[in-house]
Structure 1
């Protein structure tokens, strides 16, 4: 049995995710408070979903995100017996 290496997670990656989530919550908070006239995220998605091309683009983004976030790094299904 070999030594199992533990992945090193850089702090910058966590910082980027924290900023993205913080910006999303700030946007939604401003929109719900009625400040500055920004639309809510559901309003933006509804405007995109109004058109068939927008539905296909959102579906493609959903597939891409799901693949890269949930499936790409999993090796237990592909492991040699």
Structure 2
């Protein structure tokens, strides 16, 4: 991992912290179900109750999918680049 540039290490660290916070949030919500601390499924259910919330989540899902999987790809069916 020593051959990674500094910005890549920082990016991996940021993603690790984000996922750790996400898992901690879910764990707190599941360990204390009587508290007012919601789990992720309860939060998504509250957002998806409204049509605008469903559209926002759909747009976020498309944005994430584009940036995580499609951006920067070279498609196989494209002809040779001249």
The reply to whether TM is greater than 0.5 is yes
Unaligned runs of 5+ in 1: 1-6
**Regions of 4+ moved over 4 Å:** none
User: 1 or 2 for the larger relative contact order (CA 8 Å, sep ≥6)?
Assistant: 2
Partner residue, 1:3: none
Take 1:25 and 1:43, find their aligned partners in 2: how far apart are those partners? 15
Q: Deviations over 1:5-54 (max 9, x none)?
A: xx846211110010000000000000000175310000000000000000
Q: TM-score, normalised by structure 1?
A: 0.80
Partner residue, 1:10: 8
Q: 1:68 and 1:78, CA in 2 relative to 1: closer, same or farther beyond 3 A?
A: farther
CA RMSD of aligned residues (A): 2.2
Unaligned runs of 5+ in 2: none
1:66 aligns with 2:65: yes
Q: TM-score, normalised by structure 2?
A: 0.79
